[in-house]
Amino acid sequence: MARRMGILDYRMLKAARRYVVVIAFVLGAVLTTPEVITQILMAIPLLVLYEISVWIAWYWERQDKKRQQAAEAELK
């Protein structure tokens, strides 16, 4: 949704990946008990969801480029 509004794009999400890893593990530490295993088990789904959002943004950007190229080809 944010990509469609022009706020985020694939490159921004890709560049922020290392920060998201740190944030996911901090959230895992804050939101769970002090056990390391539960902290990791909390961080992994957060990272998976983030990676899914990066792939979706990449796919949408690729589709937009294809549509734009098709529109340019029609104009020529």
With 0-12 / 13-18 / 19 or more C-beta atoms within 10 angstroms meaning exposed / middle / buried, residue 46 is middle
27 near 43, Cβ under 8 Å? Answer: yes
**Residue ranges of the chain with pLDDT lower than 50?**
none
What residue ranges do the domains of the chain occupy?
10-75
What's the rounded Cα separation, in Å, for the pair 23 and 68?
36
CA–CA gap between residue 18 and residue 47 (Å, rounded): 11
pLDDT digits (tens, 9 = 90+) for 24-42: 999 999 999 999 999 999 9
- The confidence score (pLDDT) of residue 2 equals 52
Count how many Cα atoms sit within 13 Å of the Cα of residue 61 in the half-sphere of its side chain: 17
- Which pTM does this prediction carry? 0.82
